[in-house]
Amino acid sequence: MVTYFNEIYRGLLSLFEGMGVTFKEFIKPTVTVSYPYETLPMCDKFRGHIELIENEDGKPNCIVCMMCQRACPSDCIKITGKKPEGEKKKVLTKYTLDFTRCSLCGSCVESCNFNALEFSKEYNLASTRKEDFYYDLLQRLEDRNK
Task: Tell whether domain 50-145 is in CATH 3.30.70.3270.
Answer: yes
What is the pLDDT of the chain when averaged over all its residues? 92
Question: Are 51 and 140 in contact, with CB atoms under 8 Å apart?
Answer: yes
pLDDT band, residue 8 (cuts 50/70/90): very high
The pTM of this model reads 0.73
User: Is pLDDT at 40 greater than 90 in this prediction?
Assistant: no
Tell me the helix, strand and coil percentages in the chain, rounded to 5. 35, 15, 50
* pLDDT for position 7: 94
Share of the chain above pLDDT 70, in %: 100
Closest of 69, 141, 88, 142 to residue 80, by C-alpha? 69
Spatial distance between the Cα atoms of 25 and 36, rounded to a whole number of angstroms: 26
Q: What is the separation of C-alpha 134 from the centre of its chain, rounded to a whole number of angstroms?
A: 14
Per domain, the residue ranges of the chain are 1-31, 50-145
